[in-house]
Amino acid sequence: MRLMIVGALEGQLSQATALAMKGGAKVSHAPSVDIAMAALRAGRGADLLLVDVMSDIAGLIAALEAERFHVPVVACGTETNAAAAVNAIRAGAKEYIPLPPDAELIAAVIAAVARDSTDFLYRDPAMARVVKLADQVAGSDASVLITGESGTGKEVMARYMHSRSRRASGPFISINCAAIPEALLESELFGHEKGAFTGAVARRLGKFEEATGGTLLLDEISEMDVRLQAKLLRAIQERQIDRVGGIRPVKVDIRILATSNRNLAEAVREGSFREDLLFRLNVVNLKLPPLRERPADIAALSDHFVEKYARANGLGERSLSAEARSELQRAPWRGNVRELENTLHRAVLLASGSEIGPDAIAMPDGTGLSEVVRTATLAETAAQTAADVARSLVGRTVADVERNLILDTLDHVLGNRTHAANILGISIRTLRNKLNQYADEGLAIPAPGEQRSVA
């Protein structure tokens, strides 16, 4: 975690700063808002800004938004009046800490942002195989493509690989290609020179330069415009980039990781993704299985999230009942780990006792866990039945299948031709022609109000 202290804090944060550094945080200092913004533009990024309340917090937050820096701001100061805290929060600060503080209070705030754990929880053999492959390639500089459904933990895997690489002491920089408008993404990635376009008030280094010496994660790269993909390909091949409005290339030293929840081979066939870029990124592919295919992980993660949110909300010890645990493992989890975490956070808050049963577990739309499991089970049964029916038709001609379908439908409606034609989706004339054909072949055709006799 990178912590930047902004303003003159008169040594009040020295102990908390030492704790942050001891915990692995990298701490820098900017005496003023202008110097802080200059540091951010120069690629000396931060994960948290700890700002003197007497600084221009409103101006700082406005500047961060105008230049698209997404960094949380926590205000602190020696002012004892409530107005300082109110003004800081109104200006957009996430929190206000009075000084001199209990050093542990500031350390806790820093730790909350710094808790960027690169370890993740898994127990299932399917996930263990992916982690084993990740460990094998983590130490190299090879590009890695991490694929899987939304919520399976692709960014967590990327951070895990960075922490086990030779670049672990360098920065880990992530950019979500789907969250930034196409017109701005080039500047975000490669930076720009002052005056390169309207709003470019100063030179700004992009994510490539900010990640130099470390790892750059291109999250949801499948959403990048195909024209920008060409510039990205050159940057990866040449290890140099061109800032928007720049006059000379800039060397970069980074390792590229990328994620996608789409099938990029299919995107190549559709023309929305460059094949040569896919080859460059996909030196190694880590495909994360969906949570519903990792039952052992569901159990382990469920216990972890219950403990985490019970502690975070000061609710004492909570545990899952055996029935709840069983139904959690049978649920489909379309949103994967992210959905499971949100569901159990809600369950911890709604549970009436220390044990969480299925009745306390509900989906965002209010549907109970048991109902979701029943629906999923019925759908799975129907799909299996359909598959069994399809297999039973193998080896038979289309004419045979059609004849049986028509005659069985006619039996079902007691020989009513009009009703049968409507069910079958054919005209009454077509049905009569088919029945005449079957009669000529010697088959018994039920009259209206009758069924075929079964020998």
Span 426-443, pLDDT tens digits = 999 999 999 999 888 888
Q: In the predicted model, is pLDDT for residue 417 greater than 50? A: yes
Q: In the predicted model, is pLDDT for residue 113 greater than 60? A: no
Q: What is the DSSP string of 126-168?
A: HHHHHHHHHHHHHTS---EEEE-STTS-HHHHHHHHHHTSTTT
Phi then psi dihedrals of residue 276, to 5 deg: -65, -35
Q: What is the pLDDT of residue 104?
A: 66
Q: Which residue has 């709003």 as its token pair?
A: 199
Residue spans of alpha helices (H) in 193-321: 207-210, 226-238, 264-270, 275-281, 295-312
Q: What is the pLDDT of residue 77?
A: 75
pTM of the full structure: 0.68
Q: What is the pLDDT of residue 109?
A: 66
Q: What is the pLDDT of residue 156?
A: 92
Q: Any idea how long the chain is?
A: 455
Omega before 100 within 30 of 0, i.e. cis: yes
Cα separations in angstroms, 451 against 72, 404, 443:
75, 14, 13
Q: What is the pLDDT of residue 455?
A: 43
Q: Are strands 355-356 and 319-320 parallel, antiparallel or unpaired?
A: parallel
Q: What is the pLDDT of residue 363?
A: 79
- Read off the pLDDT of each residue in 4-23 and give the average, rounded to a whole number: 69
Q: In the predicted model, is pLDDT for residue 380 greater than 70? A: no
Q: Which residue has 């081979």 as its token pair?
A: 265
Ordered domains of the chain (ranges, CATH): 2-114 (3.40.50.2300), 127-287 (3.40.50.300), 291-373 (1.10.8.60), 393-455 (1.10.10.60)
Distance CA 288, CA 178 (A): 20
Q: In the predicted model, is pLDDT for residue 103 greater than 70? A: no
- Read off the pLDDT of each residue in 103-122 and give the average, rounded to a whole number: 61
Q: What is the pLDDT of residue 400?
A: 87
Q: In the predicted model, is pLDDT for residue 299 greater than 60? A: yes
Cα separations in angstroms, 230 against 195, 256, 262, 266, 273:
24, 16, 19, 18, 10
Q: Please say whether the beta carbons of 91 and 58 come within 8 A.
A: yes
Smallest Cα–Cα separation from 444: which of 455, 452, 436? 452
Q: What is the pLDDT of residue 118?
A: 44
- Beta-carbon contacts of 437 under 8 Å, excluding residues fewer than 6 positions away, are none
Q: In the predicted model, is pLDDT for residue 219 greater than 90? A: yes
- Read off the pLDDT of each residue in 113-135 and give the average, rounded to a whole number: 79
- Beta-carbon contacts of 360 under 8 Å, excluding residues fewer than 6 positions away, are 324, 347, 350, 351, 352
Q: What is the pLDDT of residue 213?
A: 92
Q: What is the pLDDT of residue 14?
A: 67
- Read off the pLDDT of each residue in 340-367 and give the average, rounded to a whole number: 86
Phi then psi dihedrals of residue 439, to 5 deg: -65, -40
Long-range contact pairs involving 430-439 (C-beta distance under 8 Å, separation at least 24): 431/406, 434/402, 434/403, 434/406, 435/406, 435/410, 438/403, 438/406, 438/407
Q: Please say whether the beta carbons of 285 and 145 come within 8 A.
A: yes
Distance CA 344, CA 363 (A): 10
Cα separations in angstroms, 431 against 397, 406, 411:
19, 8, 14
Q: In the predicted model, is pLDDT for residue 377 greater than 60? A: yes
Q: What is the pLDDT of residue 228?
A: 93
